A and B are shown apart, each in its own frame.
Chain A
Amino acid sequence: MNKFKRHVSGLSLVLALLMVLTACGGGSKGGEEASGTQASGGESANSGDTPEIVMPFFVLNGIPEDMQAVNDEINKITKEKIGATVKLMPISYGTYGQQTNLMLTGNEQVDLMVVGTWFNYTTQVAKNQLLPLDDLLAQYGQDIVKTLGDNYISAGKVKGKTYGVATMRDLADMYGLVIPKDVLDKYQIKTEDIKTFDDVGNLLATIKKNEPDSTPLVPFGPGDSLLDNYMTYDNLGDKLGVLPGDATDLKVVDWFEQPEYADLLNKIRSWYEAGYIMKDAATNRDSGLELMKAGRGDVLLTRIKPGYAEQESRLIGKPVVTIPLTQPQARTSSVANMMWGIPRNAKYPDKAMQMLNLMFTDKDVANLLAWGIEGKHYVVKSDGVAGYPDGVDQNNSKYNLNQGWMFGNQFLTYVWEGDSPDLWKQLQAFNDSAVPSKVLGFTFDQTPVKTEVAAVQNVLNQYKMALEWGTVDPAKVLPEFRKKLKDAGIDKIIAEKQKQLDEWAASK
């Protein structure tokens, strides 16, 4: 009993201390903010009192060595044009979502950042982490609106307000086939002969007949199913409830219940059984291009766009061609996956919008971000394309970011050597020719049904890959999959989506 009492008194001491500390924690918040301002105030004093815009973005291939040098060059321009400097903050793609989340929740200064459905855009909006941009766009961003056009601007809207702005890049989706040219030549197949999934099946059959030991079809990448990007519908953000392409009204349907889905699965299953598909496709961890390069297969199906064939040819080391299987289509999802937003933590939202506008209008800024410093990281060749200076190549270049599509208007940058000099014209035409979805600009907010979404995601993880690579028999597994989706509450998600879609349509 004595021992027990001693424990209690010790415990109450701890609790009392805890409460004191909590009180301190609550009070210190204001202090923290004040010191934060002080620190950055001191910093800007060094650079002559110009505001500094903190600008995180993700990099795919490692942070370039000369990032700071490029940053300094950009600051020379921005100081003069918008009276501010920027602090570029490259973060590798794998940790970008997590790291920016920490910065936002930790109340750090972030003025302009890459957002989008790749990084939980709608959650960030629902949690009030991003500022509405409409007023800022009207005041400082007219050039952005002019360049993108209302259709593509609308893709960043949630409940009538804009929280993200896409960049000028390839903004439409097209699904198609990537195949080395020599394979087509060998079997004397013309690109015009392949238009549908069945044609692809025939092509695979031809290859398999002549090379019985090969498995011609390889996955595009880890975690990618064959049907992930093949969309004859608008996925309305997450595929949980879709709008069929031929729909005349705004009725959300369950894609996994559609007969078309079942037909596709049966087709894929027959390919798998005939040995057209790599057996480990559903658990594959390699990039499709690596597999192709290593000779594991000849065909892959993925999103394609003008210039894609040249890009892949360089990577694989032999010429490949792309053959479209769908029309280019513009959906909210193809635009809103990568955008720029201004978080609530921003210290200089005005300057941030001016910077974004500058990336859309200033050729020098766009080229600096895309290719680096002229003469050092790239030179302009005679036909107006950019290339490496003498003695510099892909491996020793100190600025090989190669992400022009990420910063403002890509069409302001130079085309890189090896690409068609009129690539930007082709891409512009591609964007213009895209069929806009009837519901372009609708963004689904998952938060009211997040319990169901979490359960449904687990069901998808369990069944989707195996079904959509043909590893399991759809006759047996598809009914099970559908039942589990129902159990997990997909109907509730669809009902919520329908409700939001109707509201959106009514407000237009």
Chain B
Amino acid sequence: MGTTLWQRTWRNVARNKAMYVMVIPGLLYLLVNNYLPMLGLVIAFKNVDFAKGIWHSDWIGFKNFEYLFKTSDAWLITRNTLGYNAVFIVVNFAFSIAIAIFLNEITSKFFSRFYQSVLLLPYLISMIIVSYLVFALLSQDTGMMNHTILPLFGIKEISWYNEPVYWPFILVIVNLWKNAGFLCVVFLAAIIGIDKEYYEAATLDGASKWKQIRLITIPLISPVIVMMLLLFIGRIFYADFGLFFQVPMESGPIMNATNVIDTYVYRGLMQIGDIGMSAAAGCYQSIVGFVLVLLSNYVVRKINKDQALF
């Protein structure tokens, strides 16, 4: 059977020579750019010694990974990373799909473009600037919340950067404000692609706006939603470093609510600068991400085969 498979493959190649030749540049690019660097993962299992070179350094097994699990914070940073990202996905998707649908209903071209641009703008702002915008709101000495908004409601000033309870909300809001615009544009593009005849037919049949959204728009853009979802799930174990490092301003008392894997690794290795340990962190994150993508794709395939990525 092996030979028949081989023969069949060979015949396939022979028949589609031209196609296969065309694939080569792309494949080479993928190999050089995406697969070759993966060999660097061996660094995670070595005690790198530059006199010996990377390939001849000593193997040390999983010792480089230890610091990720041995600490008392291991549970905390894992929970925060996964928890925040899960909430981000749910909230961001819900909001941006809703906004995309609303935007599609705006008939004035000018306003539709205007709102899109306004929504997209935060996505283009650097996190460092975002962190100062948040600081301008929350600073204790000069912040707008404490000095203008809270007094209006007669609430006493709050020491934002010292109270961990507020931070899950602050981070979710900041993330939504920053990223919803981008997702919204993606979904809007999908909605615009839907054939208008569906809606016309539905209107003739007397379907309400709500029914049109529920029964036409959402089912028709669901492939895009699922694809974006799978892409986001693949990165669920990577935290947005800028958001979690810059926005909380390195404030210690709130760190139980703001420390995630990426910031933990950064703070831990700032002083040692060990490439083996940082490679270990990256390796761990990508393996978890990979497994989660496979799993969720499997689940999607069980439910609806056409919408799975692979």
Contact = CB atoms under 8 A, between A and B. Distances in A.
Partners in one complex: yes
B250 interface: yes
Interface of A is mostly: helix
A462 B264 CA distance: 10
Contact of B253 (A5, A280, A458, A472): A472
A416 interface: no
Contact of B50 (A127, A458, A461, A462): A127
A440 to B, nearest CB: 21
Contacts, number: 132
B309 interface: no
Nearest to A450: B272
A129 B250 CA distance: 32
A402 interface: no
A147 B268 CA distance: 38
Contacts of A282: 161, 251-252
B67 interface: yes
Nearest to A446: B272
B73 A455 contact: yes
B72 A484 contact: yes
Identify which of A22, A278, A453 gathers the most chain B CB atoms within 10 Å of its CB: A453
A21 interface: yes
Contacts of A374: none
Contacts of B71: 454-455, 458, 487-488
B161 to A, nearest CB: 5
B107 to A, nearest CB: 46
Interface string A20-55: 011001100000000000000000000000000000
Interface residues of B, number: 49
Given A278-B141, A458-B259, A128 B162 contact: no
Interface stretch (A97-105, A193-201, A302-310): A97-105
Interface stretch (B80-88, B116-124, B235-243, B273-281): B273-281
A60 interface: no
B269 interface: yes
Contacts of A26: 55
B138 to A, nearest CB: 10
Interface string B248-284: 0111110110010000110111111111010000000
Contacts of B55: 26
Interface string A278-306: 11101101000000000000000000000
A423 to B, nearest CB: 33
B141 A280 contact: yes
Interface in B143-191: 159, 161-162
Contacts of A215: 141
24 contacts: A9-B5, A105-B50, A120-B271, A128-B50, A129-B50, A280-B140, A282-B252, A450-B272, A450-B277, A451-B63, A452-B67, A454-B71, A454-B265, A455-B268, A457-B270, A457-B271, A458-B71, A458-B267, A462-B252, A462-B253, A462-B259, A471-B162, A472-B162, A488-B71
Given A123-B273, A128-B52, A454-B269, 11 more contacts: A14-B35, A101-B273, A283-B161, A450-B67, A452-B67, A454-B272, A454-B277, A455-B67, A455-B73, A461-B250, A471-B253
